[in-house]
């Protein structure tokens, strides 16, 4: 495929509700969208960098800078055999995986459209329906959290993730368990703890959680291995894993028993599949994480989740949980029993609402071969 044109846009979109984690709250999203075309078809991708450098060092502004000055100049006007060949063009650019993934995922969509196949099939996926979970942010009270959980359980979601942080942890887990004794439940700390908190994890170990997600430092695998040795609940790594190599090392050290795969964090579909394979070969299940995406990033998450070893419900949920109106048609919908069906149209399989996207755009730039 010939990379004839790349368009980058910054969109402003307001989440229906603020989302709070151990590193802060967000509601007004700045989303960088990518459109790549070969002159005949267009592929779409989303940069999942957040507003500030808190989940990772990338932000929508660093992504814009690195895309414009480094990534796009490396790919514009190039002829690619397949989307997989993108990685070789940008291997000299260290990090900035979310910026890279914006282009990489757009190339996969374009590649699938040129080949006239659904993206999930091009990726090698087999799950025609994927199991969905939700991630519920930190709330102002336990009662509010309990009623949010009840609403999501009633909507059919198969797993509930709550965010934890010092002061919003043991008591909360205890209360949620008392109200929902059998619920598939997990806690995500976003790196809010250290090994000094080991007794707290031993106490939370009694509440039969599916996993603790990223309890310790965002670059650590050594201390996670120590924590995993001392608790029964599986550890799931998110922030610490950027590549299949990271996954291999973490698994070898027994730093985790589960991995959360996010397209942005790992640089796109190629590396996400490589992580999937490393984990599958070691008997480690994976699931697809979320970054409060618009419909385009969400559609890529749905397609990725079709792969065999995405055997646990992910943070991939319905558009309506995030947006009054999504930028794709139809929006991502979840069945009453908590599943999303794959689409059979080529590429991401959802159509893109170009006019609505224009209305949300605050700046854009076009690069032509
Ligand atoms: O750690 O998984 C996370 C959102 C923003 C940044 C980090 C994370 C999250 C989520 C939300 O948990 C997942 C979603 O609903 O998109
Ligand atoms: Mg996480």
174: confidence class by pLDDT, cuts 50, 70, 90: very high
Indicate whether residue 135 lines ligand 1 (CB < 6 A): yes
Task: Determine the distance separating the centroid of ligand 2 and the alpha carbon of 290, expressed in angstroms.
Answer: 8
pLDDT at 364: 98
- Rounded Cα distance between 32 and 16, Å, is 19
Whole-number pLDDT of residue 46: 98
pLDDT at 313: 98
- pLDDT confidence band for 61 (50 / 70 / 90): very high
Mutate to test the pocket of ligand 1, among 28, 315, 318 (most ligand atoms within 8 A of CB): 315
Distance of CA 160 to the CA centre of its chain: 16
pLDDT at position 162, please?
98
Mean pLDDT, range 218-225, rounded to an integer: 98
- Mean pLDDT, residues 304-311: 98
Beta bridge partners of 286: 259
Q: Are strands 160-163 and 134-136 parallel, antiparallel or unpaired?
A: parallel
Structure confidence at residue 259 (pLDDT): 98
Stretch 191-202: mean pLDDT, rounded?
98
Q: Is 344 buried (19+), middle (13-18) or exposed (0-12) by CB count in 10 A?
A: exposed
Residue 144 known to be catalytic: no
pLDDT at 366: 98
Chain segment 24-36, per-residue pLDDT in tens: 999 999 999 999 9
- Please list, in sequence order, all residues whose beta carbon lies within 8 angstroms of the beta carbon of residue 137, skipping any fewer than 6 positions away: 18, 19, 20, 21, 25, 163
Q: How far is CA 59 from CA 161, 174, 261, in A?
A: 24, 35, 19
The answer to whether 257 touches 224, Cβ cutoff 8 Å, is no
Distance CA 116, CA 168 (A): 48
Atom of ligand 1 nearest to the CA of 213: 1
Ligand 1 nearest-atom number relative to CA 137: 12
The dihedral built from the CA positions of residue 50, 53, 58 and 64, taken in this order, carries a sign that is positive
- For the chain, the maximum distance between any two Cα atoms, rounded to a whole number of angstroms, is 60
* pLDDT tens-place string over residues 101-156: 999 999 999 999 999 999 999 999 999 999 999 999 999 999 999 999 999 999 99
Percent of the chain past pLDDT 70, that is, above it, reads 100
pLDDT, tens digit (0-9, with 9 covering 90-100), for 328-343: 999 999 999 999 999 9
> Using a 6 Å cutoff on CB, does residue 290 contact ligand 1?
yes
Q: Is 20 in the pocket of ligand 1 (CB under 6 A)?
A: no
**Euclidean distance between CA atoms 98 and 66, whole angstroms:** 10
**Confidence band of 98 (pLDDT split at 50, 70, 90):** very high
190 lines ligand 1 (CB under 6 A): yes
């Amino acid at each position: 495929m010939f990379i004839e044109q790349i368009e980058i846009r910054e969109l402003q979109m307001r989440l229906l509700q603020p989302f709070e984690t151990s590193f802060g709250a967000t509601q007004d999203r700045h989303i960088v969208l990518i459109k790549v075309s070969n002159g005949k078809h267009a592929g779409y991708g989303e940069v999942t960098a957040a507003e500030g450098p808190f989940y990772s060092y990338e932000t929508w502004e660093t992504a814009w800078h690195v895309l414009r000055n480094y990534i796009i100049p490396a790919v514009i006007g190039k002829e690619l055999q397949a989307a997989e060949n993108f990685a070789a063009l940008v291997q000299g650019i260290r990090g900035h995986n979310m910026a890279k993934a914006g282009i990489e995922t757009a190339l996969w969509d374009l590649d699938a459209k040129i080949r006239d196949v659904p993206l999930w099939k091009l990726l090698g996926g087999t799950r025609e329906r994927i199991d969905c979970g939700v991630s519920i942010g930190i709330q102002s009270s336990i009662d509010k959290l309990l009623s949010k959980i009840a609403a999501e359980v009633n909507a059919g979601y198969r797993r509930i993730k709550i965010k934890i942080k010092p002061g919003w942890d043991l008591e909360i887990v205890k209360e949620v368990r008392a109200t929902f004794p059998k619920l598939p439940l997990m806690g995500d700390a976003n790196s809010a703890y250290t090994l000094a908190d080991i007794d707290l994890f031993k106490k939370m170990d009694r509440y039969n959680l599916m996993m603790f997600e990223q309890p310790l430092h965002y670059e650590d695998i050594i201390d996670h291995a120590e924590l995993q040795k001392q608790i029964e609940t599986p550890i799931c790594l998110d922030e610490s894993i950027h590549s299949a190599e990271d996954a291999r090392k973490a698994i070898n050290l027994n730093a985790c028993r589960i991995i959360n795969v996010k397209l942005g964090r790992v640089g796109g579909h190629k590396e996400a599949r490589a992580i999937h394979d490393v984990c599958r070969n070691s008997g480690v299940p994976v699931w697809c994480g979320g970054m409060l995406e618009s419909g385009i990033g969400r559609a890529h998450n749905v397609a990725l989740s079709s792969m065999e070893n995405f055997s646990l419900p992910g943070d991939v949920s319905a558009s309506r949980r995030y947006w009054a109106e999504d930028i794709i048609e139809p929006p991502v919908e979840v069945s009453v029993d908590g599943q999303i069906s794959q689409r059979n149209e080529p590429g991401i399989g959802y159509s893109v609402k170009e006019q609505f996207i224009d209305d949300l755009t605050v700046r854009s730039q076009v690069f032509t071969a």
